[in-house]
Structure 1
Amino acid sequence: MEWIVEKQLVSPTTGTFFALASDTNNTKVIIWYKGSYFIRSGNIIKTGCFGIVINGKARNIEVMHTFPFNHTVWNTFTSTISCPGNEGVIRCESTRSDRCLFDICPYGNKPLLETTG
C-alpha cells in the first residue's frame, strides 16, 4: 500500500512522531511511530511484507499505532504537543524550556546555550 504524508508532528516529551498520511482513495490515517528517521510532508510511504519503505529506501522505524484520521484528534495533538518545529517556524536555536528526548532535533534546531554572567 502507498501513502503520501500530508503533515507531521514531533512529540519531544515522548520521543515519538505522528504523521498524517493519505492513500490514492483519500483514506487518511495517523501513524504514531518512533525511530531514527523523521517522516516529512510529501514523503511517500510504501508498506508490505518487505517492511516500510520511505521515498524508495527501507527505513527502520517502529510503528506504534495507526488509526483512522479524525480532525478532533489531530487538532488536539497539534494544540497540546509543544515543539517549535511543529509550528512551522524553523529557528536556528530552540527556545524550549521543557525536556526534549531527542538528542538531535528532527527539525534541525539547536538548543540555546545558557550563558552565565
Structure 2
Amino acid sequence: MHYNVMDSLMCPLTGTVFSGVITRKNLKLIIWYQGETIVQAGDVLSSTGKELLVNGIASDVKIITVFPFNRANWALLSSRTGCPANGTRPPSACHRLDTCRFASCPYGLEKLAAMEE
C-alpha cells in the first residue's frame, strides 16, 4: 500500500506525530505514530510487511493507530497539539513554554527561552 502525505502535525507533549495521508484510491487517513523520522507533505509512505518505508527508505516509524481523516478532526488536532510551528506560517523560533519531547525540533526551530539566556 502507498500513502501520499498531505500534512503532519507534531505533538510536543507526547513526542508523537499525526500525518494526514491519502491513498491512490482517494482514501484519506490520519496516521498517529512515534519515531525520529518525521514525514512531511509530499513524502510517500509504503508498507512492506511490518516495515514502513518513507520515500523508499526504511524508517523507525512505529504506528500507534490509524483513523479516518476528516477536516474537523484535523482542525481539532491542530489546535490541541500545542506545537507553535504546526500550521501554515511557522514562527522563526519556538515560543513553547512547556517541555517538548522531541530531541530536536522537527521544524528546525530554536527554543526562544534558550536564545534569551
TM-score > 0.5, shorter chain as reference:
yes
In the alignment of these two chains, the number of paired residues is 115
Please give the TM-score of this superposition, normalised by the length of structure 2: 0.91
Q: Please list the CA deviations of residues 32-53 of structure 1 after superposition, one character each: whole Å capped at 9, or x if unmatched.
A: 0000100100000001216111
Q: CA deviation at 1:87?
A: 2.2
Q: CA deviation at 1:70?
A: 2.4
Work out which of the two has the higher radius of gyration on C-alpha atoms and give 1 or 2: 1
Q: Please list the CA deviations of residues 45-100 of structure 1 after superposition, one character each: whole Å capped at 9, or x if unmatched.
A: 00121611111101111000011112221111011111121023334421111221
Query: What does residue range 30-45 of structure 1 map to in structure 2 within 5 Å?
Result: 30-45=30-45
Determine which structure has the larger strand proportion and give its number: 1
User: In 2, distance between residues paired with 1:66 and 1:32?
Assistant: 6
Query: What does residue range 85-100 of structure 1 map to in structure 2 within 5 Å?
Result: 85-100=85-100
**Corresponding residue SS for 2:85:** helix
4+ residue runs over 4 A deviation = none
Write the letter of the residue equivalent to 1:42.
G
- Root-mean-square deviation (CA, aligned residues, Å) is 1.4
User: In 2, distance between residues paired with 1:71 and 1:88?
Assistant: 15
Unaligned runs of 5+ in 2: none
1:111 aligned residue: 111
- State, as a whole percentage, how many aligned pairs show the same letter: 33
User: In 2, distance between residues paired with 1:50 and 1:69?
Assistant: 22
